């Protein structure tokens, strides 16, 4: 139950969670087909998509937690890439060839910028107010 139209930026954030959730499921299936076990809780992004569109404050908090965790982990992985001899890019469960670590910084930087943008949208006062107003209207 929403209290009005969902802003375009929030729809984009929700779509990123949806695609992330779908890619997590595909990754787990590909790994299972290759006799590898891959536990990926990213599939919860599918539920976050619906929760964000319904202005559920609980799913907004989940999205904020995941986005902050992603920012921290991307920084840590980026710092460790300076000490690595090589990097492998894993796309949907398929492990790519070894590449120089500095090339791995390109997608890391891209995803860091996307996560930073998501955090900015999720913490914007007008967006946060939508979730608060929706929670209050449920009582």
Mean of the pLDDT values across residues 32-40? 86
Confidence of residue 135 (pLDDT cuts 50, 70, 90): low
Angle (deg, nearest 10), helices 44-53 and 57-80: 130
pTM across the whole model: 0.84
Q: What is the pLDDT of residues 121-132, one digit of tens each?
A: 999 999 999 988
Residue 2 has what pLDDT? 47
> Which of the listed ranges 34-38, 102-106, 115-119 does the model predict with the highest average pLDDT?
115-119
Residue 104 has what pLDDT? 78
Share of the chain above pLDDT 90, in %: 56
Considering only residues 76 and 101, tell me which one the structure prediction assigns the higher pLDDT: 76
Q: What is the pLDDT of residues 38-84, one digit of tens each?
A: 888 999 999 999 999 999 999 999 999 999 999 999 999 888 877 77
> Could you tell me the sign of the dihedral formed by the alpha carbons of 124, 62, 49, 1, in that order?
negative
Question: Mind giving me the DSSP string for 65-129?
Answer: HHHHHHHHHHHHHHHHTTT-S-EEEEETTEEEEEE-HHHHHHHHHHHHHHHHHHHHHHH-HHHHH
* Average pLDDT of the residues of the chain: 87
Phi, psi at 35, each rounded to 5°: 60, 35
């Amino acid at each position: 139950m929403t209290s009005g139209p969902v802003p375009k930026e929030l729809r984009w954030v929700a779509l990123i969670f949806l695609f992330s959730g779908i890619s997590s499921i595909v990754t787990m299936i590909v790994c299972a087909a290759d006799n590898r076990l891959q536990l990926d809780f990213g599939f919860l992004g599918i539920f976050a998509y619906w929760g964000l569109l319904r202005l559920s404050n609980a799913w907004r908090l989940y999205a904020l937690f995941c986005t902050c965790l992603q920012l921290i982990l991307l920084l840590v992985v980026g710092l460790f890439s300076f000490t690595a001899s090589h990097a492998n890019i894993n796309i949907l469960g398929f492990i790519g060839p070894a590449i120089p670590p500095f090339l791995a910084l390109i997608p890391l930087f891209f995803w860091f910028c996307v996560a930073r943008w998501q955090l900015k949208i999720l913490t914007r006062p007008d967006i946060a107010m939508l979730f608060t107003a929706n929670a209050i209207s449920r009582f």
